[in-house]
Each structure stands twice: as C-alpha cells, then as structure tokens.
Amino acid sequence: MKSIEVKGTARTIAERSSEQARALKSIRKEKSVPCVIYGGKENIHFTVTNDNLRNLIYTPDIYLVNLDIDGKKITAILKDIQFHPVKDTILHVDFLEVFDNKPIVIEVPVKLEGLAEGVKAGGKLTLQSRKLKVKALYAHVPEQLTVNVASLGLGKSIQVKELSFDNLELLNAKDSVVCTVKLTRAARGLAAAAAAAKK
C-alpha cells in the first residue's frame, strides 16, 4: 500500500454545542477540514487544510497515512468522509490509527487482468465490484486486488468465493459477483452462425 504524508493542527472541542458549531463553521471558512483519529488510546481532534487532503481523497488509490499533528506522528488509514450534500465540499474526515499487530478492514480496488475467452467470442466484460472489503494487517494490504479473467467464458462470472489472496480475508458476501462477461448481439450472432455451420 502506498503512503502519504498529511500535516494537521490539533484542536479542542468546546463543551457547548453552539460553540462547537461556531468553531466548525470558522474552520471551514478558513478552507480547512475538521478531522478526528480514533482507534488508539484516545480520540484526537485536529484540522487539515483542503489542499493537504486533496491527493488523499480525490484518487482511486488507497493509502497508508502518515499523520503529523503538531509534531506528533501517527500512522492511520482514511476511514470515512462526509461531503456537503449540495456543494460537495468536504465537511469532516475520520481516520483510524493502525498498528503492526492489529488487522484493519479496508476496501481495496479490483483490477482485471487478461483477455477473457468470452470477450474473444464477442461478449462484453463488466466489472461489477470496483472495490472489495478485506481484513488484514496493514503491511499485507495490497494497492489493488488483481483478478485474472483469461478463462472467463460467455455469460460466465467470477464470484468472491472463487477468489483467494495471500495474508488477507475477503469480507464481501461469498456470492457477490466481481465481474462477468455479458452476452451481446454480436456474441449471439457468432454463436448462431457457429451452430448453423455444424448442421
């Protein structure tokens, strides 16, 4: 898994909800994002500038995040992002502190590899699950899960239960479809022509 550096500034949480709301509004007005990291001995609230988060959030890649909060170094993963429902700006980010000996749960992008037999026969390969949820030590989490589709025929699919990867557990439902080769008009025409030729 790739890593990325993110710098933040610690913040205190006001006791009154009205004061909290004013503080959050002020943070966002300054083009920063309120964040929290949990999973360790205590939750830490901090802010990060929008610019500092851009490369982490607006990407299909997953990262191990090396947080620097006022000089305090913490290793984490991105856990949740809240966006404004209309403006699509970032409202809040949750991080999870990670440890060498404690498994994490994270979604990993799926990459299809090979030319499917069904595609050669005129079918269309469709990726149904762009990401799969895995459980593993963070050192064992790959940047992507590579699925070989070379032997996948027309009308056939690959389900989660057919996949296995070293040092990690797949948490999606076993019968979830990862990818499939769909029949197209061209494929049906080829199949009909092949059947007619055999007569």
Are 117 and 153 a contacting pair, CB within 8 Å?
A: yes
Residue-wise DSSP of 60-110: SS-EEEEEEETTEEEEEEEEEEEE-TTT--EEEEEEEE-BTTB-EEEEEEE
How high is the pLDDT of residue 89?
Answer: 84
Q: How far apart are CA 65 and CA 78, in angstroms?
A: 7
Residue range 104-198, CATH number: 2.170.120.20
How high is the pLDDT of residue 84?
Answer: 84
* Res 129 pLDDT > 90: yes
- Taking the whole predicted model, whether its pTM rises above 0.75 is answered as yes
* 3-state SS class at 177: strand
Q: Which CATH class is domain 2-97?
A: mainly beta
* More confidently predicted of 60 and 187: 60
Domain ranges of the chain: 2-97, 104-198
Q: In what order do the strands lie in the sheet with 145-148?
A: 145-148, 104-113, 131-136, 169-170
Task: Give the pLDDT confidence of 160-197 residue by residue, as tens digits.
Answer: 999 999 999 999 999 999 999 998 776 666 666 666 66
Q: Which amino acid is at 51?
A: D
